[in-house]
Amino acid sequence: MSRIGKAPIEIPAGVSVDVSKGNLVKVKGPKGELAEQIDGDLSVDMSEGELNVVRPTDQKRHKAVHGLYRSLIQNMVVGVTDGYTKTLELIGVGYRCANTGNLLELSLGYSHPIYFYIPDEIKLVTKMEKGSPPTIELEGIDKQLIGQVAAKIRAYRKPEPYKGKGIRFKGEIIRRKAGKTAAK
């Protein structure tokens, strides 16, 4: 039995949830509006400040998507109220980042700079301060989109295990390897 799927979703003040025909869930809040198409078999019940996702049977497929869609709706509610942020750090000599609007320019030790366009739904801030590694901050209301964009940026230069150079999430711990030892 899905424990996540059974948990109710609290709807804070200032957030409106609309479930239309065809199970299209629209969540509107102070930071914006999000919509998600959920599985046709599941139903969404609304009652005074609470939302419940209900599955019709205990089939394996229904159990599999029950918790998933409950989490997606919960992420939409949190996104339109608080928003989400992801911070990436560039660790390495000569690694730099800069942005012009939503165009991110990365210098990662390759022979050419890398240009990456960030979707308009995401706010991008780059920081280059002396004494700390360059950082990229992504902020928006869609958790899936921010995670996908952050993963694509990180894929340009994943942290390597010997020196730890590369693009990493803030607070991420990289497992280090010892490397070669001098033979005598």
Express each pLDDT in 141-171 by its tens digit. Answer: 999 999 999 999 999 999 999 998 999 999 9
Q: Which DSSP helix (H) or strand (E) runs through 86?
A: strand 84-91
Residue 85 scores a pLDDT above 90? yes
Please write the tens of the pLDDT for every residue from 18-76.
888 888 999 999 999 999 998 888 888 888 888 888 888 888 888 888 889 999 999 99
pLDDT at residue 87 greater than cutoff 60: yes
Residue type for position 159: P
Give CA torsion, residues 32, 38, 40, 46, to 10 deg. Answer: -60
Could you tell me the fold of the domain covering 84-169?
Outer Surface Protein A; domain 3 (3.90.930)
pLDDT band at 182 (very low <50, low <70, confident <90, very high): low
Number of neighbours of residue 108 by Cβ within 10 angstroms: 18
Would you state the CATH architecture of domain 3-81? Alpha-Beta Complex (3.90)
CB-based contact 179:163 (threshold 8 Å): no
Task: Reply yes or no on whether the pLDDT at 14 is more than 80.
Answer: yes
The predicted structure's pLDDT at residue 57: 87
* For residue 1, pLDDT beyond 60: no
Considering the chain, tell me which residue range(s) the CATH 3.90.930.12 domain(s) occupy: 3-81, 84-169
